[in-house]
A and B are shown apart, each in its own frame.
Chain A
């Protein structure tokens, strides 16, 4: 675990830059992480997806999958890939301040 400066405050992140405590998340932090991930600006549409992911995470203990976001009509898969190019599951989770999605093997 390391500490870094994001949006003017110091936060704890893991080796891949994921926040270690999702409770400290706010929109400013989200915008700062998004910028590092090459997403600038972070739009309302991005935030709609991210805030839904956070809500599910708090209710169920895990973030929704790409398939679930599509099925619940939160965001179609195609659009999700254009909102978060290069790996939406991982990028959106990171910006949402959630842990790295659990990879299945």
Chain B
């Protein structure tokens, strides 16, 4: 009996579990998945919590609801991956051996990496919205906030869901308008990037949106520390930005397990072949989703596109054949732009976000790089697709590889 072991039962791990369970022969293969937490969070929903659009109950379900029958599920912390012995040590001392290992341990924020962030003001006057704790604490705070200067800052790249900061800003502009205090709120976006986004065309489009919504953009600002007592962001070059309320996207890092196991880079992301998703160090270890060091976005849609490729490649690997699946860096992001509208972008390693129609070329119903109501409905509908189709490994009506059809270069 051969063993497939999956570490991490978040978006990527759960998708892979469902996909592999449906294609591997039960006579030959046993499948085990390990995760330390029993609750699955719909992370794209965290964005809506600070504004009271969603609450905690809207973004959680038990992980077990998404596991197929006939697989072994272990809820435990993981001590170590011993790649040279093809085994994993769990916190309780149990040893799991494997023939093929899939690592899907994701990424999380690490505010302790920046001086002054995780001090007395953390979740009091400085908030993240990438954790359920941060998002719900911010909801409470915003409910009673009377205005002032709100600064949203990205500490360093890469971050999970690189469009989320923009969405937060757009929603904040809308929400303060709804509350009747937009005239009392100054909004500033402080980013280490040279513009609103990484890719030039989209960066210009988003820059125009920020301008239109009276949100100030401060680019090329690499935060060195936070002077929380005087409410200032201080860059490595000693320039300063004042704030009354700081919303921050702290340094994102992979799981500490990778550092312990000698498998990660400086940020604990695992060096991974950007096309095949095989780990660079071990041919029977594959990596998917936010845990990789790939130059693609860290996002659920990306993990979804990777999952199709990875399924093919693992099957080839098991058969002793060359890995033919090539991931192209495809990402597809619905961006809430406030006032019931949204923007959609679709891109990959080589092609930046372009205008056009999606997914049906020339038809839509969604519009790329344009603000429409339909795009907003797409975003809101996505939660249903996520719970009911995506996690279960079902086919979605979107190709894994990005298509140029429907796009205007």
Binding site for B on A (CB under 8 A): 65, 67-68, 71, 77-78, 80-82, 85-87, 102-105
B266 & A105 in contact (Cβ 8 Å cutoff): no
B331 and chain A: residue at smallest CB distance = A105
Q: Are A65 and B266 in contact, CB atoms less than 8 angstroms apart? A: yes
Other-chain contact of A105, B220, B222, B237, B297 (Cβ < 8 Å):
B297
Residue of B nearest to A67 (CB): B266
Residue in A78, A87, A103, A104 whose Cβ sees the most chain B Cβ within 10 Å: A104
- In the assembled complex, which residues on chain B have CB atoms less than 8 Å from the CB atom of A105? 157-158, 162, 197-199, 295-297, 331
Residues from chain B with a CB closer than 8 A to the CB of A86 are: 220, 237
Which residues of chain B come closer than 8 Å to A71, judged between CB atoms? 266
Residue pair B266, A78 in contact (C-beta under 8 Å): no
> Is B236 in the interface zone, CB < 8 Å from A?
yes
Q: Mark B191-204, 1 if CB is under 8 A from A, else 0.
A: 00000011100000
Nearest 10 A/B pairs, CB to CB: A104-B158, A81-B236, A105-B198, A67-B266, A68-B266, A102-B295, A104-B295, A81-B237, A105-B162, A103-B198
Q: How far is the CA of A57 from the CA of B81 in the complex (A)?
A: 28
C-alpha gap A82/B224 in the complex (Å): 12
Which residues in A have their C-beta under 8 angstroms from that of B222? Answer: 81
B150 at interface by CB-CB < 8 Å: no
| Cα-based distance from A86 to B222 in the complex (angstroms) | 10
A86 vs B224: C-alpha distance when bound (angstroms): 14
> Contact between A104 and B157 (Cβ–Cβ < 8 Å)?
yes
A78 close to B236 (CB less than 8 A): yes
Sampled A-B contacts (19; CB under 8 Å)? A65-B266, A68-B265, A71-B266, A77-B236, A78-B224, A81-B224, A81-B237, A82-B237, A87-B220, A102-B295, A104-B157, A104-B198, A104-B295, A105-B157, A105-B158, A105-B162, A105-B198, A105-B295, A105-B297
User: How many residues on the B side are at the interface (Cβ–Cβ under 8 A)?
Assistant: 18
Is B402 on the interface with A (CB-CB < 8 A)?
no
A17 to chain B minimum Cβ distance, whole angstroms, is 15
Question: Which label, helix, strand, loop or mixed, suits the secondary structure of the B interface?
Answer: loop
Contact, CB under 8 Å: A77 / B295: no
CA of A65 to CA of B158, assembled, Å: 12
Interface residues of B (CB under 8 A from A): 157-158, 162, 197-199, 220, 222, 224, 236-237, 265-267, 295-297, 331
Chain A residues in 8 Å Cβ range of B198: 103-105
**In the complex, what residues of B have CB within 8 A of residue A87's CB?**
220
Query: Which residues does chain B contribute within 8 Å of A77, judged by CB atoms?
Result: 224, 236
B224 and A103 contact, CB distance less than 8 A = no
Is B267 a contact of A103 with CB atoms below 8 Å?
Answer: no
Residues of B near A85 (CB, < 8 A) are 237
Considering the complex, give the chain B residue whose CB is closest to the CB of A71: B266
A86 and B194 alpha carbons, distance in the complex (Å): 11
Q: Separation in Å of the B300 CB from the closest CB of chain A?
A: 15
Residue of A nearest to B297 (CB): A105
A79 nearest in chain B by CB position: B236
Q: Report B380 CB to chain A, min CB distance, Å.
A: 24
Collect the chain A residues with CB atoms within 8 Å of residue B220's CB. 86-87
CB distance from B253 to the nearest CB of A (A): 10
Besides the known contacts A85-B237, A103-B198, 11 further A-B residue pairs in the complex with CB atoms under 8 A apart: A77-B224, A80-B236, A81-B236, A82-B237, A86-B220, A104-B158, A104-B198, A104-B295, A105-B157, A105-B197, A105-B297
Considering the complex, give the chain B residue whose CB is closest to the CB of A64: B266
On chain A, the residues within 8 Å of B331 by CB distance are 105
Complex: chain A residue closest to B293, CB-CB? A104
C-alpha spacing A104/B266, complex, angstroms: 15
Return B283 CB to nearest CB of chain A, in Å: 19
B108 to chain A, nearest CB (A): 16
Given known pairs A77-B224, A103-B198, A104-B157, the reply for A67 and B267 (CB within 8 Å) is yes
Q: Say yes or no: A103 contacts B295, CB within 8 Å.
A: yes
Query: Could you say which residues of chain A place their CB within 8 Å of the CB of B162?
Result: 105
Q: Determine the residue in chain B with the shortest Cβ distance to A77.
A: B236
CA distance A77 to B295 in the complex (A): 22
Bound complex: CA of A77 vs CA of B234, how far in Å? Answer: 14
In the docked arrangement, what's the CA distance between A68 and B331, Å? 28
Determine the residue in chain A with the shortest Cβ distance to B274: A102
Contacts of B236 in A (CB 8 A): 77-78, 80-81
For A80, the chain B residues whose CB sits under 8 A away are 236
CA A65 to CA B222, docked complex, whole Å? 14
Residues on B with beta carbons closer than 8 Å to the beta carbon of A68: 265-266
CA distance A104 to B297 in the complex (A): 7
